[in-house]
């Protein structure tokens, strides 16, 4: 029977930093499992000993390693400060998860202190009204972030408590500055005053059912952080230079919109829009394969055997809209992708599925992703503020 040792022991045996162990895990060099307490990472003693005998892996692509306590990645899901993100998605509101990422302590209430600065929100709404119609929400979020930062006299307070307070003001202000999806706005029912309910009113012209709101809440939780994703790395570099939280978030938003990151959900939305009925799925996928294009919403660079976040969210989507006509098209796409033995669906596809059955405005998946990930960016920024050293990468001559 294999024996398992903790990260400290494994790192000492290999002569590396604990963070390097997780780089080995992401590259498939070592296996990792959670301890019985759900918090500790355990490593196979036999694999560690074998690696120690062989020496450090060579001929691997260079990988930046940053020590962090915010999020670790398991075989098919992330763990936020040691807690399974899927379990949090079942039991916690987004606000509570954001507080957990920022402070390591549970929130005292789902909406405590989550309000934008009135002056900043008024200025951001005025800026939104001056923008042309038809902009995607991600573009509007970038504009509001700039305006909210410019009007916040507390933006340069970089201690943890102040950054957390800025995060609450910023997320609430961003949502409240977005135009309503319906005119007049839909009336918010009981339990819809939190981040999920307020965001829904900006993205969907119809009021949510409890199951739809639960699916959106889960999506926000599942997307709140994902270790050193591209946007998070960019946000950490900005924070290491002591950029203020608004500049950190603006940096993250700029990277998030790329089609290989958060923009993949928008590409998946457009893919589903092409599948006007289930019978078109085979043709739509075949055309993309013929053009040499990737299938958005499928496959993951970390979760090679499937993204548990996507499966979890897709189950909630199906439960929220049983019998919905778009579900058959969604299933038909996945069936065709699997017939071709392509990778499994990820959370970007599930997010596109949620927006498809909910009737949200175009680009809503990106907006959900962006609002959620602000929590993670600021948690990582806090670590960089505390370190006080500049992240400076070096180039290798070619």
- Rounded CA-CA distance 353/341 in Å is 21
- Rounded CA-CA distance 243/304 in Å is 35
Q: How many CB atoms lie within 10 A of CB 300?
A: 18
CA 326 to the chain's CA centroid? 24
CA 140 to the chain's CA centroid? 19
Q: Tens of pLDDT along 130-180?
A: 999 999 999 999 999 999 999 999 999 999 999 999 999 999 999 999 999
- Rounded CA-CA distance 151/165 in Å is 15
41: three-class secondary structure by DSSP: strand
pLDDT of residue 75: 87
pLDDT of residue 80: 96
**Structure tokens that stand for 145 in this block:** 């972030």
pLDDT of residue 31: 83
Specify the pairing of strand 32-34 against strand 78-80. unpaired
Contact residues for 293 (Cβ-Cβ < 8 A; gap 6+): none
**Structure tokens that stand for 1 in this block:** 């029977």
Domains of the chain with bracketed CATH? 4-65 (1.10.1660.10), 88-398 (1.10.580.10)
Q: What is the residue whose two structure tokens read 């919905």?
A: 324
| 262: phi then psi, degrees, rounded to nearest 5 | -65, -25
Task: Report the number of secondary-structure helices (H) and strands (E) in the chain.
Answer: 18, 6
Element (H, E) at 204: none
Q: What is the residue whose two structure tokens read 């070096």?
A: 394
Please report, in tens digits, the pLDDT of each residue of the chain (398 residues total). Answer: 578 888 888 888 888 877 777 778 766 788 888 777 766 788 888 888 888 877 765 555 455 678 899 999 988 999 999 999 999 999 999 999 999 999 998 655 544 569 999 999 999 999 999 999 999 999 999 999 999 999 999 999 999 999 999 999 999 999 999 999 998 887 776 667 899 999 999 999 999 999 999 999 999 999 999 999 999 999 999 999 999 999 999 999 999 999 888 889 999 999 999 999 999 999 999 999 999 999 999 999 889 889 999 999 999 999 999 999 999 999 999 999 999 999 999 999 999 999 999 999 999 999 999 999 999 999 999 999 999 999 988 776 76
Is 8:18 a contact under the CB 8 Å cutoff?
Answer: yes
pLDDT of residue 81: 94
Query: How far are the Cα atoms of 77, 162, 230, 383 from residue 103, in angstroms, in the given order?
Result: 21, 11, 23, 11
Instruction: With both helix axes pointing from N to C terminus, report the angle between 94-103 and 160-177 in degrees, rounded to the nearest 10.
Output: 150
- Rounded CA-CA distance 275/298 in Å is 16
Sequence-ordered alpha helix ranges (H) in the chain: 7-14, 18-26, 45-54, 85-91, 94-103, 118-129, 137-150, 160-177, 195-203, 210-222, 230-240, 245-256, 264-274, 281-290, 308-320, 325-339, 347-358, 364-387
| Dihedral sign from CA coordinates of 137, 143, 147, 150 | positive
Q: How many CB atoms lie within 10 A of CB 159?
A: 11
């Amino acid at each position: 029977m294999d024996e398992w040792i903790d990260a400290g022991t494994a790192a000492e045996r290999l002569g590396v930093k604990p963070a390097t162990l997780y780089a080995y895990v992401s590259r498939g060099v070592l296996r990792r499992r959670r301890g019985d307490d759900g918090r500790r990472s355990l490593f196979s003693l036999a694999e560690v000993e074998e690696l120690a005998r062989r020496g450090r892996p060579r001929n691997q692509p260079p990988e930046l390693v940053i020590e962090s306590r915010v999020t670790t990645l398991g075989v098919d899901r992330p763990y936020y400060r040691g807690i399974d993100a899927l379990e949090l998605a079942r039991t916690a509101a987004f606000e509570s998860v954001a507080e957990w990422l920022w402070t390591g302590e549970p929130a005292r209430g789902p909406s405590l202190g989550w309000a934008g600065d009135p002056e900043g929100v008024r200025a951001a709404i005025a800026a939104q009204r001056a923008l042309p119609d038809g902009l995607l929400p991600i573009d509007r979020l970038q504009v509001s972030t700039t305006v909210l930062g410019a009007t916040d006299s507390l933006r340069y307070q970089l201690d943890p408590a102040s950054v957390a307070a800025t995060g609450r003001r910023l997320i609430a202000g961003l949502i409240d500055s977005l135009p309503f999806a319906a005119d007049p706005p839909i009336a918010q029912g009981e339990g819809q005053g939190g981040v999920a309910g307020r965001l829904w009113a900006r993205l969907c012209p119809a009021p949510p059912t409890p199951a739809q709101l639960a699916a959106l809440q889960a999506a926000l939780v599942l997307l709140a952080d994902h270790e050193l994703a591209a946007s998070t790395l960019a946000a950490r570099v900005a924070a290491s230079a002591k950029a203020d939280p608004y500049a950190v978030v603006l940096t993250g938003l700029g990277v998030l919109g790329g089609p290989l990151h958060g923009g993949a959900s928008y590409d998946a939305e457009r893919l589903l829009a092409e599948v006007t009925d289930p019978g078109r799925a085979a043709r739509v996928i075949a055309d993309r394969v013929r053009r040499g294009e990737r299938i958005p919403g499928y496959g993951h660079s970390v979760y090679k055997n499937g993204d548990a976040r996507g499966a979890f969210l897709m189950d909630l989507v199906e439960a929220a809209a049983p019998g919905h006509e778009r579900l058959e098209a969604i299933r038909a796409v996945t069936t065709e992708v699997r017939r071709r033995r392509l990778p499994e669906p990820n959370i970007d596809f599930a997010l596109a599925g949620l927006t498809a059955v909910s009737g949200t405005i175009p680009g809503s998946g990106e907006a959900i992703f962006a609002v959620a990930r602000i929590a993670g960016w600021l948690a990582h920024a806090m670590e960089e503020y505390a370190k006080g050293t500049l992240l400076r990468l070096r180039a290798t001559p070619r």
